[in-house]
Amino acid sequence: MIRFEQVTKRFGDSTVLDEVSFAVEPGEVFVIVGRSGTGKSVSLKHMVRLLTPDAGQVWVGDEIISNARGRRLERLRAKFGFLFQGGALLQWMNVADNVALPLRQNTRMDEEEIGRRVRSRLAVVGLESALAKMPSDISGGMRKRVGLARAIVSEPDIVLYDEPTSGLDPVTSRTIDELIRDMQRQFGMTSIVVTHDLHSALRIADHIGMLHDGAMLPPLTPSEFIRSTQPVIREFLEAQYITRRGDWETEETVP
């Protein structure tokens, strides 16, 4: 579905991605983890050509998006929904208008149908009662859920999540995790999630790819990831008190 081939990206003197290659299969939840500044969000932005690689190619299906322009880029981007870190809602529109935006701008649907679709997507994220609220009047977690409703309202093939649970309380984080899994189950969407929250990654992922020093380690299933003996992965797991058995240790039980 999505394939990175030897993608390199530099910002000034710093090489963020160094010949990174990996593939995401259709219908799976692929989670990219790594420490801050390792290029997780940068990878995600390459998938929709918000950033262009200095070398290498990004494939979406059987087309290269990293050199696409104009109509071809629009057609490829139409396959995607994108949940940005802060939700990226337009501040002058209420929740319903924000979710309806891609339908009003890109389709010829009538208002009645748009209203029905918006209500159903807001129901999926548990916010059908917040239709008339403005983005400034709702919490960060609610904004992310509205962003998610907007990302899926056009029924895209692929949904990209940039830190969907960062800054949220554990209960809301779990709700978002369940929503991501539900998106895959209900709509068969391919999901690519960027996070440094390993608890969340282990709950939702089919495969986990870790970015470290500009390179992507070979993607692993959650159980393989937990049992991995690679020092970088072990360090990352232990920093979040996750044992090889897969249970969460408390700070007191860590030797």
Partner 1 sequence: MNTREPEFFPPTSGPIQRLGRGVMLTLRETGRALLMFLEAAAFMPMAFSRRSRADVVRQLFITGIKSLGVISVVALFTGMILALQTGLELRRFAQEVNIGTAVTVVMLREMGPFMTGLIIAASVGSAIAAQIGTMVVQEEVAALEVMTINPARFLVMPRLVALLVMMPLLTVYTNVLGIIGGAVVGTTQLNVAMVAYFDNARQFAANKDLYVGLFKALVFGAVIATVACHQGLAATSGAVGVGQATRRTVIVSFLTMLVLGYVLTRVFYK
* 191/228 with CB nearer partner 1: 191
Tell me the window of 8-16, 125-133, 169-177, 217-225 that interacts with partner 1 (CB under 8 A): 8-16
Q: How far is the CB of 221 from partner 1 (least distance, A)?
A: 29
Positions 114 through 173 that interact with partner 1 (CB under 8 A):
150, 154
Residues 75-94, mask of contacts with partner 1 (x by CB under 8 A): --xx-x-x-xxx-xxxx---
From residue 240, alpha-carbon distances to 85, 206, 215, 234 in Å are 21, 20, 22, 10
Q: Report which DSSP code applies to 244.
A: T
Q: How far is the CB of 2 from partner 1 (least distance, A)?
A: 14
Q: Kindly determine how many residues on this chain lie close enough to bind partner 1 according to the rule CB under 8 A.
A: 28
Which residue number, 108 or 245, has a Cβ lying nearer to partner 1? 108
Kindly identify the residues of this chain, within the stretch 35-74, that bind partner 1 according to CB under 8 A: 45, 48-52, 74
Q: CB under 8 A: which stretch of 103-111, 117-125, 167-175, 245-253 binds partner 1?
A: 103-111
Q: Copy the structure tokens of residue 74.
A: 């629009």
Distances (CA, A) of 237 to 46, 79, 88, 243: 27, 33, 30, 7
Contact assessment for residue 120 and residue 131, using Cβ atoms and an 8 Å cutoff: no
User: 189 in helix, strand or coil?
Assistant: coil
Shortest Å distance, C-beta 54 to partner 1: 10
Nearest CB to partner 1, comparing residues 139 and 223? 139
Nearer to partner 1, 46 or 203 (CB): 46
Q: Between residues 113 and 235, which has the closer beta carbon with respect to partner 1? A: 113
Using CB under 8 A as the binding rule, whether residue 113 contacts partner 1 is answered as: no
Instruction: Decide whether 50 or 239 has the Cβ nearer to partner 1.
Output: 50
What is the full DSSP assignment across 61-103?
TTEE-TT--HHHHHHHHTTEEEE-TT----TTS-HHHHHHHHH
Check: CB of residue 188 under 8 Å from CB of residue 1. no
CA end-to-end span of the chain? 42
Helix axes 95-106, 140-152, angle to 10 degrees: 20
Tell how many helices (H) and how many strands (E) occur in the chain.
Answer: 9, 10
Indicate which single residue of 102, 115, 140, 214 sits in contact with partner 1 (rule: CB under 8 A).
102
- Contact between 106 and partner 1 by CB under 8 A: the answer reads yes
CB of 222 to partner 1, least distance (A): 28
Angle among Cα 138, 39, 28 to the nearest 5 degrees reads 75
| Contact between 163 and 194 (Cβ < 8 Å) | yes
Nearer to partner 1, 73 or 131 (CB): 73
Q: Which residues bind partner 1 (CB under 8 A)?
A: 11-13, 45, 48-52, 74, 77-78, 80, 82, 84-86, 88-91, 101-102, 104-106, 150, 154
